[in-house]
Amino acid sequence: MIAARGIRKTGLASAALLLMLLVAAWGAQSPSAPGAEKSKLRLLYVGHPGSDREKEFVQFLGQHFETVKTADLAAFDRKVFADKDMEGSDVAILDYDGDGFKAPRPMLAPRFLDNGSGGRPFPEGSWLTRPVITVGVAGGLMASQAGLKTGYL
């Protein structure tokens, strides 16, 4: 009887330990796990300053990346967004809130290697060769204007 009680206590302790380990493992997989190590990638979120959307993206990204800077997409409206505009960052995210058709429209100048720039008169230093994510309708329109396959259908 005493031995059975001892075995039962050991079994419960083991189960509790296993449960704790499982919870810890699940937590480590969750992107929102407190204390999870942040990536050292440096992000530049280019959106609508002061908007709820910007706040939400920056807060979310800040949970996973040590460095998240912001910039104003409107500053590039009908102007080139080039490599030099994301200096000090590893990835730029181009995004906007509201109606994407009314969003600022930066010009992206990818350096197409096989069939050229299409004769577009981009000034020196305009190329965009660094990693960029374009988001939503606004992103699709930028990509379309740039001649990318990812452009809005």
Partner 1 sequence: MDNAAHAESLDHEVYHTPLAVQPEFEYRNTPENYRLGYVNVGRLPDRMKVWRVQDSPKGNVIAPGAGFNDSPDAEIIATGLNRAKCYGDVGIGRQGNVLQWGYGDPPAQMTEAGRRLFLNCIHYICRYEGKPPLVRRGNEGRLYALRWNSAKKSSTQRNLVFRGSYAQDVMQKYRGRSDELNGYYVQNLEVLYWDQGYRVDEDLKSLGIDSNRKVETLERLFELQKDPAHREVAQRLLERYTDGRTAFDFQNGRDRIYFSDVGGYKFFVVPQGYLLGSPTTKVTPP
Binding residues (CB under 8 A) for partner 1: these are 29-31, 39, 41, 43, 53, 56-57, 60, 64-65, 90-91, 93, 100, 108, 110-118, 127-137, 139-140, 143, 146-153
Task: Give least dist CB 71 to partner 1, A.
Answer: 16
Q: Quick check: 92 and 131 in contact, CB under 8 A?
A: yes
Looking at the Cβ atoms of 69 and 127, the one nearer to partner 1 is 127
Task: Give least dist CB 88 to partner 1, A.
Answer: 14
Q: Could you give the CA distance from residue 104 to residue 96 in angstroms, rounded to a whole number? A: 8
Torsion sign, CA atoms 74, 76, 79, 81: negative
Q: Could you give the CA distance from residue 129 to residue 84 in angstroms, rounded to a whole number? A: 10
Looking at the Cβ atoms of 2 and 113, the one nearer to partner 1 is 113
Looking at the Cβ atoms of 104 and 139, the one nearer to partner 1 is 139
* Cα–Cα separations (whole angstroms), residue 121 to 19, 79, 145: 63, 12, 14
